[in-house]
Structures are given as structure tokens and as C-alpha cells.
Amino acid sequence: MEIRIISAEDLDLSGRPIRGGVFVTVQTDPNCRCSTGVYTEGGSYHYLNENLQMPLPSSSRAVLVEVNCKTSSGVKKVGTAEIPVSDFDGGNLPKDYLHILSYRLREGNGRRNGIINLSVRIKSSPPPPPTAPSNHPTAMHNQKHLLTCI
């Protein structure tokens, strides 16, 4: 899965706008997490534009996106969004389709706290290499090789 964290906007900590130190962590299952770099520029619109490549286990029902802020007293969680896998995988769209998505971030107590903008693309597997007809010498050699490797 390729997920691009485009931006985060209208973020605050304790009622004060966040000016910098923002980074995003994406989790597809308990053992698979990826984070962006820290965005240090000020303003209420944090333009991260960072691409993350990570596996999407078939057992995953949602992707957790967590926005954090580095402060002088440590890392503070700003808000999270739980993105259902069904929002970008499945249906009649091709695997390599680029989904542009925006989600409301919520604090642990349910309070709204900003918006995360991202894109998601499920990468399709590369096509298998072409095979020779089964009576072709190369195909027969490959079959023997497969039999000895199994």
C-alpha cells in the first residue's frame, strides 16, 4: 500500500493552534507502523506531502492515522482517524486507483481536532513472467526445476 500524507489542518493542543513539530504515524496492524518526518514550519496548514510504503495485511479492517506533535515536554497525540479499508480497497475500481481522502481527526475524548488529507493506492502485484508452451523445452526444464525445489 502506498499512502501519501498530504497535509493536516486546523490542529490545536489545549486550545492553542499548533505551529510546528507535527508528524503522522500510520498503522495497518499492531505490528506494522510507519511515521513521517517532523514538519517544523509554522501556520495552521501543515503541508507534509510525504509518501509511505507499507504492507496492508488481508486481515486489516482499518488503517489508523495518528497526528502527533513534538513539544518541549515530549510527544503529544493531537488526534486520530480510523480509515476503513473498504474506503479505498474493493468495489469496481482497479487496484492501482489513487484515492484522495480527507478525514476528521478526533482526540481520545471524541473532541474534533483538525483534518488529515491523504491519498491511498493499493499497489497491484507485478504480472507473472511470460511462460512458454508446456511442450517447449524451456517450460519442461522449468517444470523439472520446480519439482526438485518443492
Average pLDDT over residues 9-35: 92
**Residue 131 binned pLDDT confidence (cut-offs 50, 70, 90):** low
pLDDT tens per residue, range 48-95: 999 999 999 989 999 999 999 999 899 999 999 999 999 998 777 787
- pTM score, whole prediction: 0.79
pLDDT at 51: 96
Identify which of 57, 59, 65, 53 has the alpha carbon closest to the alpha carbon of residue 7: 65
CA dihedral (93, 95, 100, 101) positive or negative: positive
Strands 12-13 and 112-121: unpaired
How far is CA 64 from its chain centroid?
Answer: 9
2-126: which CATH number, 3.40.190.290, 2.40.30.10, 2.60.40.150, 2.60.40.10? Answer: 2.60.40.150
pLDDT at 127: 52
